[in-house]
Amino acid sequence: MFDYLTTILPTFLGGLKTTIFYFIMTLIFAIPIGIVSALIKAKRIPVFTQLIGLYIMIMRGTPLLLQILFVYIGLPYIGVSFEREVAAIIALSLNYGAYFAEIFRAGIVDIDKGQHEAADVLGLTPFRTFRRIILPQMVKKVLPPTANEVINLVKDTALLYVLGITELLTLAKVTSNADVSLLPYFIAGVLYFIFISLLAKLFQKAEKHFSYYE
Amino acid sequence: MLIVKDVIKKFKDKTVLKGVSFEIKGQEIVAILGRSGGGKTTLLRCINGLETNEQGTIQIGSDFMTKEENGKMIYANKQQKRAFRKQMGLVFQNYNLFPHLSVLENIIEAPVYAFGVSKDVAIQKARKLLEILDLADKENEYPFQLSGGQKQRVAIARACALDPKILCLDEPTSALDPELTGTIAQTIRVLSEMEQCAVVLVTHDIPFVERIAERVIFLVEGEIAVDCSKDEFFQSTDKRIRSFISTMNIS
C-alpha cells in the first residue's frame, strides 16, 4: 500500500497543481470584477447598475455547471469560441465575480455615512478617503464572507471535469476506475483538506491582523 | 469673520432655511437653539459644506462655500472648499471618529495628509490638545477603548488640529451623562480661549446654553426669530421663547 501511495502521489500532486492553477486564475479575475461591480452598484451609476444587477442575477440564478458548459459549448453557436482552459477561467471568474460583487458592495454600503462626512469636513481628498478611511474598514468587514467564497471556489474547480480538465477530483475518479480502488478518492480528499486548511489559516491570520479595533 | 447671509435651503419642495443671516466675530460662543426640525442642524451642515444651500452667502474673509454676487450664485470649487474648511472645525453629534486609527492618528490625519503640515509639528500640536482635553495618556488607544466623553474630546481635538477660526459642535451634550455637561462646557471655554476661536453650538439643552453661551440665535421654522445675548434671551418675555424654554426644561 505504501508503494502504491508513492507511485500515484506525484500524479495527484500534479492534479492538485491543476486545481490550484484554476483557483488562482479565477481569483485574479474575479476579485477585480467584484470590486468594480460593487463600486458601480454602491455609487448607483445609472444603466451600469442595472446591467450589473442583471449579471449578478443570472450568475446566482443558474447552476455554475451550466455556465461552464454555456461558455464552452454554447457561445460557439454565436461565433465566440474559446480553448477549454480559457472557457473554464472565464466561467469561474464571471460566476465568482458576481458573488464577490455582492459581498464587497455590502461591505462598502455598511460603512457609516458619517465616516465620509468626517473625512470630507477634514479636507481629505476622495482618493485618500477611500484608501485610508473606507478601504481598511471595508476589508475587515468582508474578510469572513470572502473566506467562505474562496474556500467554495477550491471545491467548485472540480466541476471543470465537464470540460475534460483533469483536476484533482477527475484524476481521482480516473485512477479509481483503473486501479479498482477507493484509495484515490481518499487521497484526493486529504489533499483538498490540507490545501483548504492552509487557506483558512491564512484568512484567520488576516482577520487577526484587523482585530486590533472594533 | 463668518458671514452667513440670506441662506435658503430646500429639501425637495420643503424649505428648511428661509433666508438665514448672521455674523460671528472674534471668540464669541454662540448657541443655535431651536426645536427639532427647526433647521438648526441643517444650518450647521450648510456652514460646513455638507449640504448645499440654494441661495445665500457663506464666507470667512475671502474664503467662501457659496456666494451670491449680483443675484448669481457662485459655488466654491474643490480648492476653495478646502481653504474654507481649514478654518472650520466640526464635532459631529456621534463624533464619527475613524475606528481603525489611534487617537493620535485620528487627530493628525488631516493636518499631515490633507494640508501638508509636517508630522512632527502635527504631533506636537495634537499632544498639546490632548493635554488640555485631559487625554494625554490616551494617544495610542483606539476609539472603541474610550468612554463617550473621551471620544467626544478626541473629536474636539481632531476638529481643532487645523487651528480653525470657528469650532462647531452638533448637539454636544446629547450623548453625555448630565454630570459631564458642566465639564464639557468648561473645556470648550478653555479651548476657545487658547485656540482663539469662536464656538458655534447647535443644541436644545437649555441648562447647557445658560452655562456656556454668550449669545443665542433662536431658530423657528427655518428663520431666525431672535438673535441676542444670552441674558437677554433668558430674560425675554417673547412668547415663543418662554414656551420653548419651559417645554425644553420639562423634557
pLDDT at position B250: 67
pLDDT at position B177: 83
Asked whether residue A24 is domain-assigned, the answer is yes
Average of per-residue pLDDT values in chain A: 93
Residue A40, domain CATH: 1.10.3720.10
Asked whether residue A57 is domain-assigned, the answer is yes
Q: Does A117 touch chain B (CB under 8 A)?
A: yes
The CA–CA distances, whole Å, from A83 to A1, A72, A80, B216 equal 38, 8, 11, 75
Q: Report whether pLDDT(A1) > 80.
A: no
Please provide the DSSP assignment of A26-39 as one string.
HHHHHHHHHHHHHH
Per the CB < 8 A criterion, the answer to whether B40 and B32 are in contact is: yes
Cross-chain Cβ contact A118/B142 below 8 Å: no
Mutate to test the interface with A, among B47, B85, B96, B141 (most CBs of A within 10 A): B96
Share of chain A above pLDDT 90, in %: 82
pLDDT at position A48: 95
Q: What is the pLDDT of residues A63-108, one digit of tens each?
A: 999 999 999 999 999 999 999 999 999 999 999 999 999 999 999 9
Asked whether residue A62 is domain-assigned, the answer is yes
Q: Report whether pLDDT(B251) > 70.
A: no
Q: Which residues contact A112 (CB under 8 A, 6 or more apart)?
A: B96
Among candidates A117, A122, A214 on the partner chain, residue whose Cβ is nearest the Cβ of B110? A122
Structural domain range at position A52: 2-209
**Chain A residues with beta carbon closer than 8 angstroms to that of B97:** 118
pLDDT at position B243: 86
pLDDT at position A147: 96
Cite the DSSP H helix spans in B12-51.
Answer: 40-47
Q: Report whether pLDDT(B249) > 80.
A: no
Q: Tell me, what DSSP letter sits at residue B174?
A: T
Chain center to CA of B219: 16
Q: What is the pLDDT of residues A190-214, one digit of tens each?
A: 999 999 999 999 999 999 999 888 8
Chain center to CA of B150: 18
H or E stretch covering B243: helix B239-250
pLDDT at position B70: 84
Number of domains in chain A: 1
Q: Does A143 touch chain B (CB under 8 A)?
A: no
Q: Which three cell numbers stand for residue B89?
A: 472645525
pLDDT at position B37: 80
Asked whether residue A214 is domain-assigned, the answer is no
Average of per-residue pLDDT values in chain B: 91
pLDDT band at B12 (very low <50, low <70, confident <90, very high): confident
pLDDT at position B236: 86
Question: Which residue do the cell numbers 478601504 mark?
Answer: A135
**Cross-sheet strand order for the sheet of B14-24:** B14-24, B2-11, B55-60, B63-69, B72-75
Give strand pairing partners of B22.
B4
ipTM: 0.90
Asked whether residue A21 is domain-assigned, the answer is yes
Strands (E), chain B: 2-11, 14-24, 29-33, 55-60, 63-69, 72-75, 88-91, 166-170, 198-203, 215-220, 223-229
Q: What is the pLDDT of residues B208-247, one digit of tens each?
A: 998 899 999 999 988 898 899 989 988 888 888 888 888 8
Q: What is the pLDDT of residues A143-154, one digit of tens each?
A: 999 999 999 999
Asked whether residue A111 is domain-assigned, the answer is yes
Comparison of pLDDT for B182 and A119, the residue scoring more: A119
Q: How far apart are CA A73 and CA A24, in angstroms?
A: 24
Q: How far apart are CA B239 and CA B226, in angstroms?
A: 12
b/e for B123-133, b at 16 or more Cβ within 10 A? bebbbebbebb
